[in-house]
Each structure stands twice: as structure tokens, then as C-alpha cells.
Amino acid sequence: MQGIGKSILNKKGLKQFVMDKAIFLVLLMLVIVIAIINPRILRLQVLRDILMMSSTKIIMALGMMFVILTGGVDLGGGRLVGMAAVVSASMLQTADYVRRFYPDLGQIPIIIPILLAVFVGTLFGMMNGLIVAKFKVPAFIATLSSMLIIYGINSIYFNMPPNNSQPIGGLRADFTYLGSGSIGFVPVIVLFAALVSIIVWFVLNKTVFGKNVYAVGGNPEAAAVSGINITKTLVGLFGVCGFLISLSGVLEAARTGGATNNYGNGYELDAIASCVVGGVSTTGGVGTVSGVIAGVIIFSFINYGLTFIGVNPYWQNIIKGAIIVSAVSFDIRKYVQKK
């Protein structure tokens, strides 16, 4: 009887595991299928390229994680990537580049444009948090509005003479090194992503602020009763989100060697999908840094892999949309069952 009981428990545990990790397992199967169709994708250089591509998305997804942990979402994340990329790139062009954004600007220290771009992103994030906390506007509405505002401001800036909406190029070597340089075989941008991941893990797991983020996401009423300042926490976490997303935008400009006002368009969807695939619950209060990293890498592998095996870009959009709705559906189902 004891053996039968254990068998039943094991079956139930296995079923629960499959249910909890269903979308993750399906995507792993898709990764395997892509690798079988074209084994060249498993070459070390290709995997390195995927990891480099994933690095900025890991940083962005970790920023998005803070908002999703409260049951919200930041729809303006992609446009914030574009703004940070344009602001930083516009001030970090070589002196001999023909179409300089600021023809009379000297070669300023690299840290100044980066800090400016990140500051602007953090400011927009905190404004979103203030609107959500003080005026009780749903996060997706607040960030949808900021998405339009950010894109408008960025497009006006990008269209300033003498640039006149021309792609920004000719970036300085010390800037592009951050996105495409290497220390040995390890890309610098991957080291950035690893460092940010460690810091975010520490903040969420070892600080009062991190525990407050989980508390507010899990049960805001109980969090307020226990003395947590909801407004301060929301403004803070949206600020962190804006900081990390704008940092990813700066590094994306460094990685690609240029920028336009359309950079980052749709990136927020990949970040949301990666978070949900990685186990961050859309209902709030549940999620881990390691899960988000795994979600980003798998999602990036699939994106790269579908192109690698020649899948039509239109079909890729359909597949990505199906992954997002499936991930959210499984997440909601898990939540309902646990209730």
C-alpha cells in the first residue's frame, strides 16, 4: 500500500511539474527541433552570437520583471530602448564622421552620454510609477501613454537638423567596444549582463526593497497594512525598470554600431514573453532572476533559430504571438488551480 501511495504521489508530482513547466518544455522541444533541422546552429561561434544578442534582452527583461512582479506590464519599454540608443549614440560619434549629429561637439567622456541616457530612462520609469501609484491608473494604460510620448520626443530629437532623421552611425571605438568587444573569448556585453543579473538577484533577495516588491505584487492590501509604503515601492520599481531598459538601449546601440528612433520597437513583447516563459507570474508576486535569464536565452535561440532555418519572418511573428498567449494562458491556469 505504501508503494502504491508513493507511486500516486509521484504521478501527481510529475503531472504538477509538467503543468508548471509546460510552456518551458514545449519551447525546449522547439529548440531541439531547430537543432535537428540545422545542427550548425550548435556551433560555438553561433551560440556565442546568440548569447551576445541575448545580453541586452536579459538586462531589459530583468527590468520588466520588476513591473510584472506587481501584476503590471511596461508597454513603453521598447521605445525607451530606442530613446536611450539615440541619445547616447548622438553624442558618441567619431570626430571625422561626415554626418555628425552635433558637428561642433568635442570628444566628450563616454560616461556622460551614457549617464544622460540612463537618467532620462529612469525618470520616465519613475513617472510611470507615480501615475500608477497616485492616480491608480493601470500600468498598461500608463505605459501605453508613455510609449507614445517617448516615441514622439525621440522622433523630434532624431529629426533635429543637421541629422534630419538619418540613421546615426560612425560611433566611437571605445563605445562600440562595450557591445562588440571581448575579453578573451568572452564578450564584454555578456559580462555586463552577468553583472546586472547578480545585482538584480541581490536586490530582490537580500534587500528590504526587494522583499517589498514581492510583497506588493503578492498582496498589495496586506503589504499596506504591514507598513510598506506602496507609492514609494511602485515609483522605485518602475524607476529600476526604466534604468535597466535604458541601459539595455545604450548597450544595443554599442552592439549594433548605430541607432535610429525605431530601435527597440517590439522589444517589450519579447521581454514580457521571456519573463512569463521563465516563470514570472502575470498575477504578481512570483518570479526568479534565473528563470528570466533562461526564458530570454530560450526565446532568443528560437528567434535566431527560426531565421537560421529559413522560416518566413511573417510566420515568425505568428509563432512568437502564439508563444506569448500560450505562456500567459498556462500561467493563469496554474494560478487558478492553486487557488
Q: What is the pLDDT of residue 290?
A: 93
Q: What is the pLDDT of residue 11?
A: 64
What φ, ψ does residue 171 adopt, rounded to 5°?
-75, 150
Reduced to 3 states, what is the DSSP secondary structure of residue 44? helix
Which segments in the chain show pLDDT lower than 50?
1-2, 4-5, 8-9, 339
d(CA 180, CA 251): 9
d(CA 299, CA 293): 10
Q: What is the pLDDT of residue 20?
A: 64
Q: What is the pLDDT of residue 29?
A: 84
Report the run of H or E that residue 182 belongs to, with start and end.
strand 182-183
Q: CA nearest 120: which of 82, 72, 63, 163?
A: 82
| pLDDT per residue as tens digits for the range 286-302 | 899 999 999 899 888 88
| pLDDT per residue as tens digits for the range 240-273 | 999 999 999 999 999 999 999 999 998 998 899 8
Take residue 101 and report the three cell numbers written for it.
Answer: 549629429
Walk me through the domains of the chain, giving residue ranges and CATH numbers: 44-323 (1.10.3470)
- Cα dihedral 243, 249, 250, 252 in deg (nearest 10): 140
Looking at 181-288, list the stretches that DSSP marks H as alpha helix, in order from N- to C-terminal side.
188-206, 208-218, 220-225, 230-256, 267-277
pTM: 0.91
Report the alpha-carbon angle 209-143-211, nearest 5.
15
d(CA 173, CA 336): 52
Place of cell 520588466: 64
